[in-house]
């Protein structure tokens, strides 16, 4: 019985310590994480206004500071022609460039856009 009570109190003390440490720790979003969210939002907001629906995935790699934007037509949409893909690519490049220039980060990142 004494071991059970001691184990119970040890568990409470350990849980309290873990809670205290995790509540003190603050989460700071990194610049690349923030940029990834911003670019995905900007691209998705823009493409939502267009006739075709697109699926957007943006990834910013920490080690190379490379932005990879992958755009594809959403379910049940026709595949893009070469001309449409080139137009879409140039528009996505301009959205990324504007976001980087607005924050003076254009020299820090390189962008690669893939259209499927």
Domains of the chain as residue ranges with CATH: 31-115 (3.30.300)
- Adjacency order of strands within the sheet including 54-61: 54-61, 66-73, 110-115
Burial of 79 (0-12, 13-18, 19+ CB in 10 A): exposed
Whole-model pTM over 0.75: no
Q: What is the pLDDT of residues 32-84, one digit of tens each?
A: 899 999 999 999 999 889 888 889 999 999 889 899 999 988 887 888 889 98
DSSP 8-class letter at 116 = -
């Amino acid at each position: 019985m004494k071991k059970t009570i001691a184990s119970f109190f040890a568990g409470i003390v350990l849980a309290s310590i873990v809670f205290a440490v995790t509540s003190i720790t603050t989460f700071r979003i990194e610049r690349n994480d923030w940029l990834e969210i911003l670019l995905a939002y900007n691209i998705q907001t823009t493409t939502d206004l267009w006739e075709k629906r697109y699926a957007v995935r943006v990834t910013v790699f920490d080690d190379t500071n490379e932005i990879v934007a992958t755009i594809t037509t959403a379910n049940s949409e026709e595949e893009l022609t070469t001309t449409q893909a080139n137009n879409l690519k140039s528009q996505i490049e301009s959205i990324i460039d504007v976001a980087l220039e607005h924050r003076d980060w254009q020299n820090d990142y390189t962008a690669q856009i893939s259209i499927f």
